[in-house]
Amino acid sequence: MQINEQIRDREVRVIGADGGQIGIMSARDAQRIAYEKNLDLVKISPTANPPVCRIMDYGKYRFEQAKREKEARKNQHIVEIKEVRLSLNIDTHDFNTKVNHAMRFLQEGNKVKVSIRFRGREMGHPEIGTEIMQRFAEAVSECGGVEKQPKLEGRHMIMFVSAKTQKPAKKEKEAGPR
């Protein structure tokens, strides 16, 4: 973005600090008007014919823009992939614990990778792994849905579950007496 002396165009369309049109004039005259008001002349549309310049406080403008970008970064949520590992002969309580972990990850807005590692003779029974994966998918169905169906890749069976709502659940802190 060009400001003040960097603007070398012969004629520019000038917009005042209040947002009203001042008109088409030479860049030198526009700079003089900006200096008289202790403001900067900023080229905001270089491709227009003639280029459009605005009289504004450039420092304040940059500060406002940085503030908006910081706010946007603060509000965005990066989706992480969390992994939950199961086994073919998993017990009921262990299974429920893994389901609870996956539900918490999904409520935070993350994706969950569910995997089962087949050892030794377990490779002969991939249908048991598929059955466990389906049971797991049903258990977490209130928080998330299956994004990628269970698939056997080498010795691992992998399934991806994603959160139903994309907005992460924010934890509210109570501002009461302690």
Q: What is the rounded CA–CA span in Å between residue 75 and residue 166?
A: 13
The DSSP annotation for 87-122 comes to -TT--HHHHHHHHHHHHHHHHTT-EEEEEEE--GGG
Per-residue model confidence (pLDDT) at position 45: 85
Q: What is the mean pLDDT of the chain?
A: 85
Contact 15, 54 (CB under 8 A): yes
Q: Which residues pair with 82 in a beta bridge?
A: 112
Radius of gyration from C-alpha coordinates of the chain: 30
User: What does the pLDDT look like over 44-62, one tens digit per residue?
Assistant: 888 888 889 898 888 888 8
User: What does the pLDDT look like over 153-172, one tens digit per residue?
Assistant: 889 999 999 988 655 444 44
Q: Tell me, yes or no, if the pTM score tops 0.75.
A: no
For each of the domains in the chain, give its residue range(s) and CATH number, in order of start: 4-59 (3.10.20.80), 81-163 (3.30.110.10)
Q: What is the rounded CA–CA span in Å between residue 66 and residue 82?
A: 32
